[in-house]
Amino acid sequence: MAEIESFTLDHTAVKAPYVRLIAVERGPKGDAISNFDVRFVQPNEGEIPTAGLHTIEHVLAGLLRDHVDGVIDISPFGCRTGFHLIVWGEPLVADIVSGIAQSLHAIAETVTWEQVPGVSAVECGNYRDHSLHSAREWSRLILERGISSDAFERVDVVH
Ligand SMILES: [Zn+2]
């Protein structure tokens, strides 16, 4: 099997919440795609419940694109401690932290249920499994702890 960078990371050494550049990959024409580890919860110490994580995913899919250019995809880890973020080009980690923090701030403070995109049976694969309440609470908690631009040491990004 191919070696996967994420599985070589020492998950006991990181200090969540953080954003970490996993890799930059280049296509045959030289286009760069960056892959980030957006870690919200300390690995093996907790996880975001599926309904809250699912709602955060739906809101981030829209909101993050307002704050970060070139977003291709942001999808939750199976361990439910964070998200993979795939972006065109080579944005700075600090800019990703800022975009994520602004999006979580909106989820915590202003986003209403009517504004959560794609929550009907037509638009989602498990539309019953959503919780804006949980998404808000977890967004608040993550922002309270602060999102570091270094996975191993707390480095606060000034917004
Ligand atoms: Zn969904």
Judged against a pLDDT cut of 70, whether residue 139 lies above it is answered with: yes
* Residues ≥6 apart with Cβ < 8 Å to 101: 143, 147, 157, 159
DSSP state of 156: B
Residue 124 CA, ligand 1 centroid: distance in Å: 4
71-76: strand order across its sheet: 18-26, 32-39, 82-88, 71-76
Kindly report the average pLDDT of the chain as a whole number: 95
Residue 114 CA, ligand 1 centroid: distance in Å: 15
pLDDT of amino acid 27: 95
Strands 32-39 and 71-76: unpaired
Assessment of whether the complete model's pTM goes beyond 0.85: yes
Angle between helices 93-109 and 50-67 (to 10 degrees): 120
Contact 75, 64 (CB under 8 A): no
Residue 137 CA, ligand 1 centroid: distance in Å: 19
Phi, psi (rounded to 5 degrees) for 122: -70, -35
Give the separation between CA 158 and CA 115, rounded to whole angstroms.
28
pLDDT of amino acid 158: 62
Residue 69 CA, ligand 1 centroid: distance in Å: 23
pLDDT of amino acid 159: 55
pLDDT of amino acid 98: 97
Q: Which of 45, 47, 104, 94 is nearest to 74 (CA)?
A: 104
Q: What are the pLDDT digits (tens) for 42-76?
A: 999 999 999 999 999 999 999 999 999 999 999 99
Judged against a pLDDT cut of 90, whether residue 25 lies above it is answered with: yes
CA torsion through residues 107, 110, 115, 119, sign: positive
Residue 135 CA, ligand 1 centroid: distance in Å: 13
Residue 55 CA, ligand 1 centroid: distance in Å: 7
In the chain, where are the structural domains located?
Answer: 13-145
Give the separation between CA 53 and CA 148, rounded to whole angstroms.
20
Residue 58 CA, ligand 1 centroid: distance in Å: 6
Third-level CATH fold of 13-145: Gyrase A; domain 2 (3.30.1360)
What 3-state DSSP class applies to 86? strand
Q: What are the pLDDT digits (tens) for 102-137?
A: 999 999 999 999 999 999 999 999 999 999 999 999
